Amino acid sequence: ETGVTQSPTHLIKTRGQQVTLRCSSQSGHNTVSWYQQALGQGPQFIFQYYREEENGRGNFPPRFSGLQFPNYSSELNVNALELDDSALYLCASTMGGLDTGELFFGEGSRLTVL
């Protein structure tokens, strides 16, 4: 069984640039959610995708967007990067739509915005 994999593991961008983070869900999982974890904080929900459609969103501006593909892998895109976007971005997968409880996390992509 393949777990959740994320790429890249680390990246550095400058303010105003755009970034794309990628996630492959665990085998058999059709739901992917993204979380932002700032230093010293717990993960904060960005959005969730189920069967290629966004079906839940946290308090993040529209410049945070995503996609889910037919193989259930997913992308997180962030436009017009700001310094406060520096964080660890976690992807998690599970089965089912909204009624998720146990999430299987990847190791994260650490984004630094200069």
Please report, as ranges, the residues that interact with other proteins according to CB under 8 A: 3-4, 33, 35, 40-45, 48, 56-58, 90, 98-108
Residue 43 Cβ, how far from other proteins at the closest point, in Å? 5
Cβ proximity to other proteins: between 35 and 64 the closer is 35
Residue 93 Cβ, how far from other proteins at the closest point, in Å? 12
CA 94 – CA 82 distance, rounded (Å): 30
CA 12 – CA 24 distance, rounded (Å): 21
Which whole-number Å values give the CA distances from 19 to 35, 49, 104, in the listed order? 15, 19, 23
Cβ proximity to other proteins: between 45 and 69 the closer is 45
